Amino acid sequence: MGSAHDTTDILRSWQAGDADAPERLFPLVYDELKRRASHFLSRERRDHTLQPTALVHEAYLRMIDQTLPTVENRLHFYSLASRIMRQVLVDHARRHNAEKRGGAASRLSSESIEVCSDTSLGDVLQLHEAIEQLSDLDRRKAQVVEMRYFGGLSDQEIAGILNVSEKTVQRDWQFAKAWLYKELSHT
């Protein structure tokens, strides 16, 4: 496994146009991406068809199919990966619901918002829409939810990425949980 320095160097090479950089990066970040995907998917419904390996591969393919935005270090990379994994899950949920007659998503329970866990596939769509609304209100708080919930990042890692204190991240998380609960309990 490569060091954080190796990862950052490869990310910079990728941003500079090195076409081989994504191929060199993948083995360095794969285990961590899979750990994060496994953590998130462990809270999904039992008959969920998307496996951690598939989630990681789909997210990574989406990353290499687009121009990599400025990524300062590996934590920023994992933040980006979290956002893309979220989008993969949302797209998967939309396809799944479209295949069912009616395609109605189930409601999020207050328990699932309280700790942001045990979300079902349909709930991912509701949560995604609520996070988009939160982003319109306060982008940083939405980023905290995205990185913590979808990316499995710690408060310390999020603070480093957002260049704020851990206390600020914790306050943002508390606000976001309460706001999301209020919004989602009315749907």
* Residue range 165-183, pLDDT digits in tens: 999 999 999 999 888 888 8
Residue in the block written with tokens 């749907």? 187
* Whole-number pLDDT of residue 105: 43
Does the global pTM surpass 0.75? no
- Where are the extended beta strands (E) located within the chain? none
DSSP for 122-179, please give it.
Answer: HHHHHHHHHHHHHHHH-HHHHHHHIIIIIT---HHHHHHHHTS-HHHHHHHHHHHHHH
Which residue type, as a one-letter code, is found at position 128?
H
On whether the CB atoms of residues 187 and 133 are closer than 8 A, the answer is no
Q: Which domain holds residue 23?
A: 4-185
**2-14 as b/e, with b when 16 or more CB fall inside 10 Å?**
eeeeebbebbebb
* Whole-number pLDDT of residue 108: 44
Task: Output the six-digit token pair for 148.
Answer: 């913590």
Q: How many structural domains compose the chain?
A: 1
Q: DSSP letter at 43?
A: T
Question: How many CB atoms neighbour CB 47 within 10 A?
Answer: 7
Alpha carbons 120 and 60: distance in angstroms, whole number: 23
Instruction: Give the Å distances, CA to CA, from 108 to 56, 58, 111, 116.
Output: 25, 26, 8, 10
* Residue range 26-69, pLDDT digits in tens: 899 999 889 888 877 776 666 667 788 888 888 888 888 776 67
